[in-house]
Structure 1
């Protein structure tokens, strides 16, 4: 199993779970899974993490900025130059299917600017990374971990991550659902 984790899930991890991890079992598990590339932190997620909630993610998961750890384990995963496996199909989906009703109100210049921002975002990069991995590894279980919900999009031009993943048949789970998969930490969420 390989998962790509969103900034929202990393933030939830350090805010709501690590404070109760008195023996560092969860911290060490997350570090090991990131080190072994079972949990993927992409470059743009790490970048976003440097700007949210007073750098809480970077402070609590300090190994993500430890030069020796980062170099030794090639973290974060680089996505800047990734191209989707079927570029024409993907960009057609961006232009026609991933848009919200708000996008239809924009003029062409505004839409192109919003599209550029979306394609440079962590959300789009995680999706493109997963599409590439899925095209290479049809046998490996791949999923995206996020705390985002499919609903309301705050007047944005593009749908939220869960809605996009649903369109692309990318499996999506929340952090609690991911943590339930690790028997070694004995978490149970009901």
Structure 2
């Protein structure tokens, strides 16, 4: 199983799960899954982590700031040259299927939409989605998930749909952090 994790899930992990991990079991499982490549951390998500919740993600998952650990395990996956599987089709979908609010789209002229589209294509959300497309194509026998705490419903007035809604269109499996943790039998926080 390979998972690509979103900033929202990392934030939930450090805020709501690690405080109950008194023996460090969950921390060590996450660290080992990151180091083995079972949990993939994209550079765009890593960069977002530097600015979310007063850097709590990097403080609590301190191995993510350990230069030796990062280099030795090649933890941060570069996405600067990442493109969609079918670029023309994907870009058409951005305009025709990924827009959350058609009314908002109508208020934009062509160049304003281009700016919004380019901003979306460079976002961590788009990179997570595109990277998962490539993973699924390159590893057809592997169980692959995008892990996020986002819900499919648009509730933030953004132009584009949220990760689960776009993944639903593209056929990318999405799970939440609790669903991921259920898949790791070695994680037991003592709640059962």
The alignment's TM-score, normalised by the length of structure 2, stands at 0.95
Residue 34 of structure 2 is matched in structure 1 by 34
Name the CA distance, whole Å, in 2 between partners of 1:188 and 1:133: 33
2:132 to 130, 133, 156: 130
Residue 99 of structure 1 is matched in structure 2 by 99
Name the CA distance, whole Å, in 1 between partners of 2:154 and 2:132: 24
Residue 25 of structure 2 is matched in structure 1 by 25
Structure 2 unaligned segments of length 5 or more: list them.
none
**1:40-59 alignment runs, 5 A limit:** 40-59=40-59
Could you say if the C-alpha distance between residues 173 and 188 of structure 1 is closer, same or farther in structure 2, counting changes exceeding 3 Å?
farther
Name the CA distance, whole Å, in 1 between partners of 2:169 and 2:188: 33
Question: Residue by residue, what CA displacement relative to the aligned partner does 1:82-141 show, whole Å, maximum 9, x if unpaired?
Answer: 111211111111121111222232111211111111001000001111111111111111
Q: Is the 8 A contact 2:2 2:143 kept in 1?
A: yes
Name the CA distance, whole Å, in 1 between partners of 2:128 and 2:122: 10
Name the CA distance, whole Å, in 1 between partners of 2:117 and 2:155: 15
Name the CA distance, whole Å, in 2 between partners of 1:44 and 1:152: 22
Name the CA distance, whole Å, in 1 between partners of 2:189 and 2:110: 49
Residue 111 of structure 1 is matched in structure 2 by 113
Could you say if the C-alpha distance between residues 75 and 183 of structure 1 is closer, same or farther in structure 2, counting changes exceeding 3 Å?
same
Residue 176 of structure 2 is matched in structure 1 by 174
Structure 1 unaligned segments of length 5 or more: list them.
none
Question: Secondary structure, in 3 states, of the residue corresponding to 1:183?
Answer: coil
Name the CA distance, whole Å, in 1 between partners of 2:105 and 2:25: 45
The answer to whether the aligner puts 1:13 opposite 2:13 as a matched pair is yes
Runs of 4 or more consecutive aligned structure 1 residues displaced over 6 Å after TM superposition: none
Superposition RMSD on alpha carbons, in Å? 1.4
TM superposition shift of 1:155? 1.6
